[in-house]
Amino acid sequence: MQRYRLRMSELEAGAQIRLIALDLDGTTLTSERQIHPRNAEAIMRASRSGIVVVLASGRIRPSMSPFARQLELGDGPLICSNGAHIVDSDGSTLAASYLGAPEQSAILDFALREDLHLNGYTTDRMFYLDDSAWLELYRTRARTIPTEKVSIEELRAM
């Protein structure tokens, strides 16, 4: 994939950045899941200059909001769940796209048949069926996410 960089000469020529969208894991956050101070400084400087800074991640909103607040971005706008849930700064949903019941059922059946660890998500919570090493790894990586153990019947009913 080709990366684009805006040169200062282009900015001076009148090009204006109005929005910056940033991924969290593997981009904005360090390997310790912290915002590097230099990243924080640059992001806050951009925001204070009037550029809209949007965090975009596979994470759900409760797992992203602490980083938005740390960066003085308030609580949004945030692009959550790999774009399946987009919220405004007041927390209201701007866009949402969910799997239908047939797709959910097929995924659950496949995970059970193949004995795979499975997490289920709503816009603000994560559900899991069984404790596992994968669950603990996920909890370690996404420390701010609320999790709840449920039965397969409860997960199917969501």
pLDDT in tens, 71-99: 988 766 899 999 999 998 888 899 999 88
Mean pLDDT computed over every residue of the chain: 83
Q: Report whether pLDDT(11) > 70.
A: no
Under the banding of pLDDT at 50, 70 and 90, the label for residue 13 is low
Q: Identify the sign of the CA torsion 110, 83, 75, 3.
A: positive
Res 75: pLDDT: 61
Res 136: pLDDT: 83
Distance CA 69, CA 42 (A): 15
Compute φ and ψ for 12, nearest 5 degrees: -65, -25
Q: Report whether pLDDT(129) > 50.
A: yes
Under the banding of pLDDT at 50, 70 and 90, the label for residue 2 is very low
What is the mean predicted confidence (pLDDT) over 40-45?
A: 91
